Amino acid sequence: MEAFDLLIKGVLVAERGVKADIGIKEGKISKIEPDIEAEAKYTIRAEGRIALPSFANMHTHVPMSLLRGLGADLPLMDWLQKVIWPLEGEFVSPEFVKAGAELGILEMIRSGTTLFMDMYFFEEVVGEVAESAGIRAGLGFGILDFPTKVAKTPEEYLRKARDFAKGLKGHDLVFPVICPHAPYTCSPDTLRRAKELAEELGLYLHIHVAETKGEVERIKKEFGKTPVSHLESVSFLSEKVLCAHMVYLTEEEVEIVRERGVKVAHCPESNLKLASGIAPIPEYVRKGVHVCLGTDGSASNDNLDMLEETSTMAKLHKGATLDAKAIDARTALKIATENGFSAVGIKAGKVEEGYEADLILINPDSPHLQPLYDPIAQVVYSAKSSDIETVICKGRVLMEKREVKTMDEERILYEAKRWGERIGSFLK
Ligand SMILES: [Zn+2]
């Protein structure tokens, strides 16, 4: 008789619209059939639950979870210069990053995310937390041109980015990424060298691009080009580049992005909260651009909830374009799941045989989810992340019946409150 590592009994496989069992072996979905009779090391009885792929949060700064709620109601440049950068100058340390990463990763597991792409400092600490929590992560040391607590010159940032990337060995779920911060904080020379470093080490690049109108004006003034054209002119763009935001692109730039196979990480809630604007995602999708979804950091969202982000995205673009089909529920779910994983070469984001076993089980027995006619549309438009009962990453159960099995929730919340008190008293 066939034996599985994990067997999930009696779920509604939303993408197929059928009730079935899911057999998982060596981290992959190996069988989806009704009433599987087989041995399993662990069985989850999940009658009536909805099985869906887990989320891929393709742009965030997870240690910033400790700065959640600060600098509310400010535009991006004021928020960065008056609130975030001074606080980071005072507090960022391996201890801060550890407590922030624990808080953020706990929040992501509780809301059904099993992959996140992060850009910050002391990312080796984030890597340790992610690996022990059992969540996938693409991590990069942020590269800038101006001095901060962690480095003084572009050379020093690049050297630290290289050391970090080369030092991140022996991890199963965590991989290094090269992260120049943005075209307005990195010179053409820094961008070129970051790109060379990524090519030399065979890694993805992750960068903020065309986030605000102010950025577009600044790059135009300095280099005579809009941000994406500027990146193209320094040979930065390729299919291994993940660009967050991409709110302001010319028609020509959309074409460049499509042709180069650049991945776009759309961050609708952060763009709304910082009054940056609305990226024309339906147009990108229609033109064949690879779009995925991210929350950005907790200080500009103000949470890491990908289900909420998915719902916001789907509704936002209907309103912005006056087209109810601009981003439909199934497209929204694909952008938030499969498109994220595939952007970094991971075969996950579908509840299908042969895919990585990254999935969530949702309990629909709540007033806001009944009656249940169309599970996918109703998850996107009505579900809350607290309806996500079980989260599985690469076949490992990270949360079951709302209990996170891989992290000490009580201690993490205690530490976060202590940091909140320290930062709060500094602000007084
Ligand atoms: Zn960001």
State the pLDDT at residue 212: 97
Is 98 a domain residue?
Answer: yes
State the pLDDT at residue 1: 64
- CATH code of the domain containing 196: 3.20.20.140
Report the b/e string of 341-360 with b at 16+ CB within 10 A: bbbbebebbbbeeebbbbbb
Number of domains in the chain: 2
Preceding peptide of 118 cis, ω within 30°: no
Is 374 a domain residue?
Answer: yes
Please choose, from the candidates 171, 242, 128, 63, the residue with its C-alpha nearest in 3D space to the C-alpha of residue 394. Answer: 171
**Distance (Å) from CA 320 to ligand 1 centroid:** 23
**Distance (Å) from CA 273 to ligand 1 centroid:** 13
**Distance (Å) from CA 339 to ligand 1 centroid:** 19
Is 170 a domain residue?
Answer: yes
Task: For residues 100 and 199, state if they share a domain.
Answer: yes
For residues 407 and 391, what is the distance between their CA atoms, to the nearest angstrom?
Answer: 13
- CATH code of the domain containing 368: 2.30.40.10
Is 420 a domain residue?
Answer: no
**Distance (Å) from CA 296 to ligand 1 centroid:** 5
Task: For residues 322 and 382, state if they share a domain.
Answer: no
State the pLDDT at residue 170: 76
**Distance (Å) from CA 270 to ligand 1 centroid:** 9
Is 425 a domain residue?
Answer: no
Task: For residues 324 and 395, state if they share a domain.
Answer: no
Q: Which of 320, 343, 366 is the last residue of a domain?
A: 343
**Distance (Å) from CA 206 to ligand 1 centroid:** 10
**Distance (Å) from CA 11 to ligand 1 centroid:** 36
For residues 30 and 3, what is the distance between their CA atoms, to the nearest angstrom?
Answer: 11
For residues 212 and 246, what is the distance between their CA atoms, to the nearest angstrom?
Answer: 9
Report the b/e string of 4-25 with b at 16+ CB within 10 A: bbbbbbbbbbbbeeeebbbbbb
For residues 150 and 422, what is the distance between their CA atoms, to the nearest angstrom?
Answer: 21
Strand 179-180 vs strand 136-143: parallel, antiparallel, or unpaired?
parallel
Is 423 a domain residue?
Answer: no
The amino acid at residue 27 is G
**Distance (Å) from CA 345 to ligand 1 centroid:** 21
**Distance (Å) from CA 140 to ligand 1 centroid:** 12
List all residues 6 or more positions away from 332 whose beta carbon is below 8 Å from its beta carbon. Answer: 310, 311, 313, 314, 380
- Residue 26 lies in domain: 3-53+355-404
Q: Which of 343, 369, 392 is the last residue of a domain?
A: 343
State the pLDDT at residue 262: 98
Task: For residues 40 and 66, state if they share a domain.
Answer: no
Task: For residues 148 and 114, state if they share a domain.
Answer: yes
Chain-centre distance for alpha carbon 285: 19
Task: For residues 249 and 394, state if they share a domain.
Answer: no
Is 315 a domain residue?
Answer: yes
Task: For residues 224 and 81, state if they share a domain.
Answer: yes
List all residues 6 or more positions away from 312 whose beta carbon is below 8 Å from its beta carbon. Answer: 268, 269, 272
Task: For residues 307 and 337, state if they share a domain.
Answer: yes
Contact call for residues 180 and 158 (beta carbons, < 8 A): no
State the pLDDT at residue 427: 87
Task: For residues 259 and 333, state if they share a domain.
Answer: yes
**Distance (Å) from CA 426 to ligand 1 centroid:** 24
Contact call for residues 105 and 416 (beta carbons, < 8 A): no
**Distance (Å) from CA 368 to ligand 1 centroid:** 32
pLDDT mean for each 10 residues of the chain (428 residues): 92 96 98 96 97 98 96 89 91 97 98 98 97 98 94 97 92 96 98 98 98 97 98 98 98 98 98 96 98 96 97 98 98 98 98 98 98 97 98 98 98 98 91
Task: For residues 398 and 314, state if they share a domain.
Answer: no
Instruction: Return the C-alpha torsion angle 231, 233, 234, 237, nearest 10.
Output: 50
- pTM, entire model: 0.98
Chain-centre distance for alpha carbon 345: 15
Is 419 a domain residue?
Answer: no
Task: For residues 64 and 153, state if they share a domain.
Answer: yes
Task: For residues 73 and 21, state if they share a domain.
Answer: no
Q: Which of 310, 343, 376 is the last residue of a domain?
A: 343
